[in-house]
Structure formats: C-alpha cells, structure tokens
Amino acid sequence: MAIKNSASNNDPADDDDYIDIDDTGPEGLKGADGGYAWEEEYKRSWDAIQEDDSGSIQSAVKHMSEQQLRRKRRPRDTSAIQRGIIRHLVVVVDQSDSMGIKDMLPSRIHATLAVLHSFVGEFFDQNPISQISVIATKDGLAEKLSDLSGNPVDHVNALGDRRNRDLAGEPSVQNALELAMHTLRRAPTHGVREIVCVLGSLTTCDPGDIERTLDALKHCDVRVSIVHLAAEVHVYRRICRETNGLYTVPESEHSMRDALFDHVPPPPVVSARSKADMIQMGFPIKASNAVVPTPCVCHHVLSFSGYICPRCKSKVCSLPTDCDVCGLPLVSAPHLARSYHHMFPEENYEEEEKDVEVAVDPACYGCGAHWIDSAAIHQQQQQQEQVQKEVLMADPSAASATAGAASGAGSGRFKCPRCKHQFCLDCDVFVHDTLHNCPGCV
C-alpha cells in the first residue's frame, strides 16, 4: 500500500512524497530468529525457571543463586608479594558512537555505567585509602569528570550525569591517556598509579604519535589496563603488555563486571624503583560542638561537621583525603585496618568431593547450617538435571545459561586448609569478600 500527496497527482518529481507501508502481514516484522523485532531487545529469563514435581520453583531459584555464588567464588591470588595499597586510579570511559550498540542491554554505555557504579563502591570498600578520578572521551577529545578524590559520592554523581548525555564521534585514547597522566602527576610517588579504560570503539582519533605517550607512561610507572567491549586491538594490547596491565574482551555484562572487578585488589608492585619508605600520615579529630558553621578547605562550603587536620588545623569534609593546605595525607585507623588484609590475604578454601560422606563438622562452622545428606543431594541433582532438560527442550538458545551446571555441582562443603573446618558456599564468599579472616583460624 502507498499513500501519495493528492496535490501532486501528475508530477513525477514528487515521488518522494510516497509513504511506503508494508502491509504483507506480521511476517515482515519478524527477525532472523523467528521472533518479532521488539522481542529481540529482551531476554526471556523466566524460561530458565521451571517447576519441579511438587509444583514449586524453590529448587530452581536456589540452583540459580548457587550458580551466581559459584561464579563469584573464583580462586584468588594469595601469594605473599609486595602490593601497593595506596592507589591512584583514573577510569577512562568511552562515550563515542560505538557505545550505543545494543549487544549489551540496554546498550554498551548503560551497561558500562551500571557496572562502574558498583565498581566505585567496591573499590573504596576494599581500598579505603586510595583515590579515583573519572575521564570521558568522545569527538576526539578527553574531558575530566571528577578529580582525584577518596569520596565515592563525587565519582558516582559524575558517572550518573553522563548517563543521559549524547554519544558522538570517535574516542581519542591518546588524549585520554595524556590527561590521565597529567592528573596522576600530583599523586605522591609512594602510591601506585593506574589507568583503567573501558572502550567500545575499534578506532581512535589521536593528534600525535601514540609511541611517545607509551614511552611517557613507562617512564612515569603508570599501569594501563583496558577492557574492550568489541574485539582485541593490537596497539591496546601492546600498551597493556608494556605497562604490566591487563587487557580483556568481555563477552557479556557478567564477564565485563568480572573484568572490572579484577582491578579491585591491589596489583603487585613490579617497578624496580619502588622501595619501602615511611609515609607520614595524619589522624584528624572530628569537629564537634561547633556554634557557627565554618568553611572546609576542600570545597569551601560552610558546615558544622568535618575533620581537623592535626598539622595546620584546617577542616576537611571527609576521609581519606590530602589536606589542601599542608598536603598531609589524612586517614582514620579503620581505613588502615581495612587495607591491611591485602598484605596477608585469606587462603582459598578447598571444596570437598561429592563422594566424601564423612564431614569434619556436623554443620557449617560459620552460620551453623546443617549439611544435606547424600540422598537429598542426589535427589536435588536429579531435579536440577530434569529442569535443565526441560529448559533446553523449550528454548535451545538457553544452552549457554545452563551449561556447566551439572559439572559445577559439588558437595557444598568448603574446607579451610589451615584449621580444617568446613564452611558452606555463602560463608566462603562472605569470608573472602567481606570478613577477610577465617573464623576457625581466629
């Protein structure tokens, strides 16, 4: 069917006024996989949940949560090596046209900002005496969104402001790296300098020679890591290799989250110029009982609360930070205690085999939950296999979501190699991610 403007019935030059509407039926609106075009933007996650024989979905939900915990529980590097716990990290975010591609839902930029929002919170939780700066690049330019600071609210707000900004042009990796190096020049020499880039474009618009930038990065001992959402690029891989960084290409939102969260633990110190020196720090006293508000030296905002620098008696808003007047690093005792666990990480727990019937502890040593007997475990595994078969019969594309579930199933008991006590999966993740101390060893 075609609709034409009635005022131009005999004029062949007005063919542009035709509006062609496909009325051949709904088949013309279907995509390559047989579904409608608007359905391709959504994931049918509800197909992965199937009822068991009793009509309950509790076993399927429990199985999915267990798979999430097992994916989160990865072997950690527990070697006793020198690590830099005072870190200065610059996060570079690509905001070019390539970040609007919807291979990650709802788009690359939205998925990236959501993961970075969680990354900032986790980074400061594990590295409380470190600092972060955020830089965005598009249209061949680089823009600093937030300065080096230990306040996660500033960086979260800066990332949130970019959520609704337009994507444009191509990124400039060289300009972003140069701006990041300029930001890290004010960082003290005893800290670790890092740059983490999240890129989605296969091209870059640079004003000069990237080799000079690479030489400057190596001269300043800056560690560059890149998470590329499209493919491997040779020059990016080379920059990461020569600066002792990491280069990863995630396949999904989950793998992108894992790739970024690999940068939460402090990296090993590999620089030949690094040496252990005494670092002077100040432990400020919290300002209280103020009659009138006084300005802080960091934001020049009037407030009743704050922290008083022990050297120059200036007031700052939050900790940790550097005093803008005398330059003294200001921290608190809990911040140092939370950073200490990186020097002596907790050993990885070993999962007991399925066939081991004897349990050292009658219940989990952490939460006290009793172990499930072998008959119940066997029945639960049969139910999980039946659920997987039904899911694959209903939707063959869900094979990747259910693959490895049977191989990942184990006894559910994890033993500490030192105290030999056994813990459940939840307690294992809690001990290594939050507590950082084994309850049995303590």
pLDDT of 260 higher than 90: yes
Structure token pair of residue 1 = 């069917």
Q: Say what percent of the chain tops pLDDT 70.
A: 68
Range from 68-82, 199-213, 360-374 that averages highest in pLDDT: 199-213
pLDDT of 404 over the 50 cut:
no
CA–CA gap between residue 264 and residue 201 (Å, rounded):
24
* Separation CA 13–CA 11 (nearest Å): 5
pLDDT tens per residue across span 117-163 = 999 998 998 888 889 999 999 999 999 999 888 888 889 998 888 77
Write a three-state SS string for 1-28. Answer: CEECCHHHCCCHHHHHHCEECCCCCHHH
Quote the CA–CA distance of 183 and 90 in Å, as a whole number. 8
Binned at pLDDT 50, 70 and 90, residue 19 comes out as very low
156 membership: H or E segment, kind and range: helix 152-161
Higher pLDDT, 1 or 313: 313
Average pLDDT over residues 102-116: 90
What single DSSP character describes residue 317? S
**Residue 329: per-residue pLDDT:** 85
Considering only CA atoms, which of 265, 85, 274 is closest in space to residue 189?
274
The two tokens of residue 364 are: 């989990």
For 128-137, b where at least 16 C-beta lie within 10 A, e where not — what string? bbbbbbbbbb
Cross-strand pairs, 388: none
Task: Give the pairing of strands 350-351 and 329-330.
Answer: unpaired
pLDDT digits (tens, 9 = 90+) for 325-340: 998 888 888 877 777 7
Residue type, 376: A
CA gap 191, 274 in Å, rounded: 9
Q: What percent of the chain clears pLDDT 90, i.e. is strictly above it?
A: 29
Strands (E) across 229-343 are located at 247-248, 285-287, 294-295, 302-303, 306-308, 315-316, 321-322, 329-330
- Two tokens at 240? 């990461």
Write down the pLDDT at residue 23: 44
Distance CA 2, CA 14 (A): 13
Contact (Cβ atoms closer than 8 angstroms) between residue 281 and residue 129: no
Whether 378 shows a pLDDT value over 70: the answer reads no
Q: Look up residue 301 and give its DSSP letter.
A: -
Residue 223 gets which letter from DSSP?
A: E
Return the residue matching tokens 């490895």: 404
pLDDT for 286 equals 87
Express each pLDDT in 414-429 by its tens digit: 889 889 898 988 888 8
Query: pLDDT (tens digit, 9 = 90+) per residue, 271-308?
Result: 655 565 678 889 998 887 778 888 888 888 888 888 99
Q: Which of 91, 180, 66, 139 is nearest to 424 (CA)?
A: 66
Region 302-322: mean pLDDT is: 88
User: What is the reported pLDDT for 48?
Assistant: 56
Report residue 264: phi and psi, to 5°: -75, -50
> Beta strand 315-316 with 321-322: parallel, antiparallel or unpaired?
unpaired
The CA dihedral of 146, 151, 152, 156, to the nearest 10 degrees, is -40
Alpha-carbon distance of 411 to 33, in angstroms, equals 39
Quick one: pLDDT band at residue 381, thresholds 50, 70, 90? Answer: low
Dihedral angle, C-alpha 84, 250, 160, 170, nearest 10 °: 100
What is the rounded CA–CA span in Å between residue 203 and residue 239? 15
Predicted pLDDT of residue 235: 94
Write the CA distances from 320 to 119, 148, 284, integer angstroms. 18, 12, 10
**DSSP letter string, 41-106:** GS--GGGG----TTS--HHHHHHHHHHHHHHH----------B--SEEEEEEEE-SGGGG-TTSSS
User: Please, which pLDDT band fits residue 430 given cuts at 50, 70 and 90?
Assistant: confident
Q: Quote the pLDDT of residue 73.
A: 63
CB 317 within 8 A of CB 301: yes
Maximum mean pLDDT: which of 164-168, 282-286, 367-371: 282-286
How do residues 232-254 score in pLDDT, each as one tens digit? 999 999 999 999 999 999 988 88
Residue type, 72: K
What is the band of 79 on the pLDDT scale with cuts at 50, 70, 90? low
